[in-house]
Structure 1
Amino acid sequence: MTDPLPAPSVTPVSRAAWERACARAGAPMPFGDLPWTDLGLTGDPALRFSPVVLGWEGEGELLVPLCLNRGRSQIGCFGYGIVWPLGNWRRERLPDFPVLARALARTVGHNRVGTLLPPAGVVPALDGLVEHWDGDAGRDTYVLDLTGGVDSVWAAARGSSRTAVRRAGAHGLTVREGRPKDVARLLDLHRDTMTRNDAVTAYDKDQVDFLLRGPGAGALTVLAEDADGVHAASVFGVGAHAAFHIMQLTSEHGRRNNAGHLAFWDGVTALVGAGVQVLDLGSAANVGQERFKANWGALPKASRVVQWKEEQR
């Protein structure tokens, strides 16, 4: 528990002001930024994005990507939630979660607030701020250690994954970083992949084009192609220490020529070259996804669910 603080001021901010504040704060995960938030809102239309700044006189301010939905509030709506200080924050840790949650809930008239945090060790800069928050183990995510470099990752991967990469090369596939002109093909791949999983593509070009603007936009998209076109894409959210595997998209032809494995491996290589230390591959929705992640050497680790509910009197 931290030293007690009085109730903070709660200041709603516009989208434009939020975008400026995020750029100034330099959070270690990109998921509070507007493009990522908009992806989450598209996936869950019942949510409403209502970002706020919490402030304590003499202590500083915190950015909170608050989302509202039928009597409950959640922090963040894509990937993981994050509460991040502006540059004027004077404490080593954030206030206790009930302090934050109570102020947010009373402002919007809700009685529940929650968020999802990455496993400990994935984002050390965040761990130091929130390690005192009480929470429960959430769904396992698969974490790949990149600190040993690409040679270490390659050696730890199962032979089937390494063979798939080699076969993709033998099929004449090459890789490159995605560019804005590839947005229509990215959506086609997303549609193909979702259809195979009995789901529907909710995104449009305006919502995903930032994924093709490069790591400066907090994203990296690697495409695998041959003379007939692009057959797979691996999409990553990129932070200072950690990256997050967001999408693995493959056409039917790409499934046959191992294009997805090649795109993924080139993405890992690029991330290691950029100094990323940890890759969070996300949770596994089925056995095939679990096998893909585990075969690359990723280990299951529990995410962290932090919740607060107003006690009934």
Structure 2
Amino acid sequence: MNTTTDHTSAPLGGLGPIVPVKAGELEIGLADLGPADAPAVLLLHGWPYDIHSYAEVAPMLIEAGYRVLVPHLRGYGTTRFLSPETARNGQQSVFAVDAIALLDALGIDSAVVGGFDWGARTADVLAALWPERIRGLVSVSGYLIGSRELGERPLTPAAELSWWYQFYFATERGRAGYEQYREEFARLIWHTASPLWRFADGAFERTAKSFDNPDHVDIVIHNYRWRLGLADGAAAYDDLERRLAERPPITVPTITLEGDANGAPHPEAETYRTAFVGPYEHRVIAGGIGHNLPQEAPRAFAEAVIDVERMSTQVVS
């Protein structure tokens, strides 16, 4: 299915007050919007982005009758570790563990979950490992669950080139460079990942403040080094990672999305179709839409959330 959307930058409105919620290892900075007794939607951002990728999506979903939860991931915004002794771990499973801890802390049994980039991978992990907690899934670029074994295998030179920053981060020069130039780095990624998106400086600067988090560099560097097998994960998550390395199928109702101008590395839709064994639909969002799809095409993303909820209801009935 192809959908065309207007390609405009989000207005500079905010997401309201950010509240702290103690959950697992973290005090999570959370935008908690809409009626407390409404069906919950959990929206997860990626790198190098933040909660403001959903600044336009959230009010659309509230109008549609949802409670919208938009947390800063560990290492972003106002989210902080409760203990200075906790390892600043960025492996894939830990973000899903954080999300489950957040739902538990809020007393929420189930939610529709949506995301892009790191957020899509986390949403996929949630749907694969905790399907009883997930009513539906909206995932930009589809099935992004990985394994360190796969991450260690060489790609074609052209494909390796698209992951240049991953290799940069594998070096101490890369860590130092990202520490010193994280805002310039993020702006470069915004341009290359969404080459046709004409975002406003104010929109970028609003998000860039989230990278001032004291744990940001540690989380980003560990995330990419862990993928390549250059950094260890936590033993507590070994079983989860073993299960994820088997590429578990996703059974919950799912809509996958792809922008027609995504400049970031991403799989083709036909390569992950068989990973989704429940009700499923894939949508290509046309109009020069890049990697940060919720912010570039907010209505298309919001409609996918609403539609996947309907798919879930049809399955139950």
TM-score > 0.5, shorter chain as reference: no
TM-score normalised to structure 1 length: 0.41
- The structure that is helix-richer by fraction is 2
TM-score normalised to structure 2 length: 0.40
Relative contact order (alpha carbons < 8 A, sep ≥ 6): 1 or 2 greater?
2
Name which one, 1 or 2, has greater alpha-carbon Rg: 1
- The structure that is strand-richer by fraction is 1
